[in-house]
Amino acid sequence: MIYIVLGLIMTADDMMYSHGLMYLPVSTYSLICASQLAFNVLFTYVLNSQKLTGLTMNSVVLLTLSDLLIGVNHEYYESTSVSAGKYLLGFLLTLGASGTYSLILSLMQITFENVIKKQTFSAVLNMQIYTALVATVASLVGLFASGEWKDLKGEMDRFQSGQFSYLMTLVWTSVSWQVASIGMVGLIFEVSALFSNVISTFALPIVPLFGVMVFRDKMNGVKVIAMLMSIWGFISYVYQHHLDDKKARSA
């Protein structure tokens, strides 16, 4: 039952992420996703009894402020074909998806600690396989129920690199995401949901740079400041983890 619940939540989370990306450039999208660490701190404090320190809260504040900078970046409205309303919708959906993702991590930690109670690698695989299977089935039901499956052929034809490249993109995206997810769940199993999220957040401040280089996204001053604040927030948490580890070893 727990796998079904988590799988359905994952489905809703992925839908919010996907629709958010429709209305936001990669650089903006990735910076908003950095808020998942702030959400995770909140959920791990409430659900997993995570201890909060000054450095941890500093990380939360910086990441939250960096997202607010992106959200009020009105200059962006004038430089894109997406309307202000859709931009705001994309911002809210991505922010909601980040919060939901953090909730999923905390629920997984609770499941490992209070439900599964097994210190085996198979427990990690079961968590990933069964929840992903439920999410896949739910997504397929939504795809056919909405009638969007009829547009798949046209989408493949419009793909600039061709149908084969379209299929390979989907296949390898799925494979790489599953590998990353196993690592993420493994970190929850071995350490904590918060630590897993910190590691997954590590690349977020770097993604906007690739968005500029690959997709020609615009990197204005507000985005640069937001990116630097995200990096600062991440470093704050890493340093706190270093202090905790050092204290544990000396005890």
Q: pLDDT tens digits for 172-227?
A: 988 888 888 888 888 888 877 877 877 776 666 566 677 777 777 777 777 788 77
Identify whether the C-beta of residue 20 lies closer than 8 Å to the C-beta of residue 97.
Answer: yes
Closest CA to 30 of 218, 163, 206, 224: 206
Handedness of CA 236, 242, 244, 246 (dihedral sign): negative
Task: State how many domains the chain has.
Answer: 1
Q: pLDDT tens digits for 17-56?
A: 988 988 887 767 877 887 787 788 888 888 878 777 888 7
Following DSSP, what letter does each residue of 6-44 receive, concatenated?
Answer: HHHHHHHHHHHHHHHHHHS-HHHHHHHHTTHHHHHHHHH
- Report the range out of 49-63, 92-106, 118-132 with the highest average pLDDT: 92-106
Is residue 65's pLDDT more than 70? yes
Residue 209 structural domain: 2-250
Residues ≥6 apart with Cβ < 8 Å to 14? 97, 135, 139
Is residue 100's pLDDT more than 90? yes
Identify whether the C-beta of residue 14 lies closer than 8 Å to the C-beta of residue 139.
Answer: yes
Higher pLDDT pick, 230 / 171: 171
Is residue 137's pLDDT more than 90? yes
The amino acid sitting at 211 is G
pLDDT more than 90, % of the chain: 14
pLDDT band at 57 (very low <50, low <70, confident <90, very high): confident
Counting Cα atoms < 13 Å in the Cβ hemisphere of 167 gives: 4
